[in-house]
Amino acid sequence: MRDRGGHGAARRDAFLLAICAGLALIALAMPRVWSASLVASVRRSVLRPLVAIQGRAEQDRTARFSLAAIQFSRDSLAQIVLAGDAVRQENENLRELVGLRARVTRPYVAAEVLHRPTPTDARMLLLGDGQARGIEAFDPVVTAEGLVGYVWNAGPHSAAALTWQHPEFRASAVTGDGRVLGMISPLTSGENGQVVLQLRGVALRDSLALGTLVYTAGLGGVYPRGIPIGSVESMELDVLGFERVYRVLPLVNPGMVTHVIVITTPRDSVFLPLPGASARR
Amino acid sequence: MSHVWTGEGPRGRRRSDRLQVGLVILILLAIEFYLRPSLIEGPGMPDFLLLTLVLLAIRTGPGKAAVIGLVLGLVMDVLTPARFGANMLAHVLVGWSAAAGRAVFFPDNLLVNAGLFFLATWVRNLLVLVLAGTSWAALGAEALMWAPLQGLTTAMVGVVIVLLFRDWLAIRIER
């Protein structure tokens, strides 16, 4: 009788394992659109309290450990703003004289990043704000240093951001002087498995000096022009010899970011001057 | 003395056991979602959800452990959807293996428990990365650096949890 009970329990365990593994495999094979809507609906319903609690924890940590740094940067920014007031006024006067429209401003939402202790955390970040504050899918996500990625999907009170470390990340890029265009994608460097970026699609006639800064080109309708991405670290050899491939060291590490800025404006009509362009002139 | 009737039947005792285990899970969830993020952040942090899975797995059968793994994996996949389903499958396999492994090892030794927490974290991290389509170079870095680090911190925290709540979790530790 005991043996039979043992067999029964083993059979039930095997059955449960098969069911659970089958469900997980179905989830793995699910199309991105379906999984995105499923993720969003679970996050805004069942898991909403957990996301809210973690958001509160992030705020507490910022208040506890980063207050001095925030006050310092606020004071520094206040000084910069005061110094820049005269220049801004002068710029507005000049625009009026030339008959240019007022400069386009980009509305944004500052959001906290709710990190998870999983190995894929840096590829997809959970943000503590969502549609209630104007965040929508495909909004660019940046920090003061540069590009992080874009909003993959947004719920009412949280959003998931796909970062440049995700294998599916792509962005059109341009150098500071606007001379060289290419496509940025993630690259796993061979040395220590560190993920960096690669700039592909550069014509063989174009060469870039090491340390050249690369910005978003504004093509493709997701990222506005002029967001810093990284600096050229080295040149890689294209296997087929059709193009130059540059390894780009990103300016932002998504795994260490605590706060981000989500740009919430319509994107493909916004063109900002590249920082290198004025220097060139 | 064990035959003295205490006024609490097996059903009542089972209910109080469940309450105690539920309380431990609540404490671990509170640490995972409030205490840890409000104190420290960064790579290599202990994973309290995985700890919950392993602690429950060594108390239950492999089938139930697989179901718990599926639920916790779903939570992780929803919160970091780098590759939906990767965490679910990884946690199902880890949960099932931890529960099935009871036949092989005896979880009444503190070092064995620590080793189990370490191994579960290491295997889970690698499984998630493999299922998420990570390159071999990145996998090597994770296998040699970040996964062992997280395994170590999770094992250390797990040992403290086992020592604190061994009676509630019905884990017998050999002295």
DSSP characters over A135-148: --TT-EEE-SSSEE
Contacts of B88 in chain A (CB under 8 A): 20, 23-24, 27-28
Half-sphere exposure of B76 (CA within 13 A, CB side): 32
What pLDDT sits at residue A135? 92
Residue A13 has pLDDT above 70, yes or no: yes
Is residue A197 within 8 Å of A230, Cβ to Cβ?
yes
Say yes or no: B66 contacts chain A, CB-CB below 8 A: yes
Is residue A176 within 8 Å of A274, Cβ to Cβ?
yes
According to the per-residue pLDDT averaged within each range, which of A3-12, A50-59, B3-12, B165-174 is highest?
A: A50-59
Interface contact A26-B29, CB threshold 8 A: no
Burial of A93 (0-12, 13-18, 19+ CB in 10 A): exposed
Contacts of B70 in chain A (CB under 8 A): 20, 23-24
Interface contact B66-A21, CB threshold 8 A: yes
CA distance B9 to A46: 35
Say yes or no: A164 contacts chain B, CB-CB below 8 A: no
CA distance A199 to B138: 19
CA distance B151 to B120: 8
Residue type at B94 in one-letter notation? V
Q: Which of A15, A160, A194 sits opposite B81 (nearest CB)?
A: A160
- The C-alpha of B123 sits at a distance from chain A's nearest C-alpha, in angstroms, of 11
Interface contact A35-B78, CB threshold 8 A: no
**Nearest alpha-carbon partner for B49 in B23, B31, B34, B67:** B31
Q: Which residue has the tokens 């004025």?
A: A278
Q: What's the mean pLDDT in A27-35?
A: 90
**pLDDT, tens digit, for every residue of A190-246?**
566 678 899 998 888 888 899 999 999 988 888 988 899 999 998 877 777 788 899
Say yes or no: A47 contacts chain B, CB-CB below 8 A: yes
CA distance A259 to B32: 20
Task: Give the residue on B whose Cα is nearest the Cα of A118.
Answer: B125
Q: Which are the contacts of A277, defined by CB distance < 8 A and separation ≥ 6?
A: A176, A177, A178
Whether pTM exceeds 0.90: no
Determine the residue among B27, B35, B41, B125 to mutate to test chain A binding: the one whose Cβ has the most chain A Cβ atoms within 10 Å.
Answer: B41
Q: How confident is the model at residue A184 (pLDDT cuts 50, 70, 90)?
A: very high
What pLDDT sits at residue A236? 78
Q: What's the mean pLDDT in B63-89?
A: 92
Say yes or no: B129 contacts chain A, CB-CB below 8 A: yes
**pLDDT, tens digit, for every residue of B143-153?**
888 899 999 99
Residue type at B137 in one-letter notation? A
Q: What's the mean pLDDT in A162-171?
A: 92
What pLDDT sits at residue A1? 47
Say yes or no: A72 contacts chain B, CB-CB below 8 A: no
Is residue A149 within 8 Å of A252, Cβ to Cβ?
no
Residue A157 has pLDDT above 70, yes or no: yes
What pLDDT sits at residue A228? 94
Token pair for residue A207?
Answer: 């060469």
On average, the pLDDT of chain A sits at: 85
Q: Which of A184-193, A244-253, A268-277, B106-115 has the lowest mean pLDDT?
A: A268-277
Q: How confident is the model at residue B2 (pLDDT cuts 50, 70, 90)?
A: very low
Q: What's the mean pLDDT in B169-175?
A: 70
Interface contact B64-A189, CB threshold 8 A: no
Residue B64 has pLDDT above 50, yes or no: yes
- The C-alpha of A63 sits at a distance from chain B's nearest C-alpha, in angstroms, of 10
Is residue B84 within 8 Å of B131, Cβ to Cβ?
no
Determine the residue among A34, A51, A116, A259 to mutate to test chain B binding: the one whose Cβ has the most chain B Cβ atoms within 10 Å.
Answer: A116
Widest pairwise Cα distance in chain B: 62
CA distance A176 to A180: 9
CA distance A52 to A61: 14
Q: Which of A119, A189, A255 sits opposite B125 (nearest CB)?
A: A119
Contacts of A21 in chain B (CB under 8 A): 66, 89, 92-93
Residue A121 has pLDDT above 80, yes or no: yes
- Of all residues in chain A, the percent with pLDDT exceeding 90 is 34
Position with higher pLDDT, A279 vs A126: A126
Q: Which of A154-168, A238-252, B49-63 has the lowest mean pLDDT?
A: A238-252
**pLDDT, tens digit, for every residue of A81-106?**
888 888 888 888 888 888 887 766 77
**N residues, chain A:** 281
Q: What's the mean pLDDT in B76-105?
A: 89
CA distance A194 to A245: 18
Distance of CA A188 to the CA centre of its chain: 17
Residue A183 has pLDDT above 80, yes or no: yes
What pLDDT sits at residue B9? 63
Q: Which of A9, A28, A192 sits opposite B89 (nearest CB)?
A: A28
Residue A29 has pLDDT above 90, yes or no: yes
- The C-alpha of B122 sits at a distance from chain A's nearest C-alpha, in angstroms, of 10
Interface contact A118-B142, CB threshold 8 A: no
Q: What's the mean pLDDT in A4-28?
A: 88
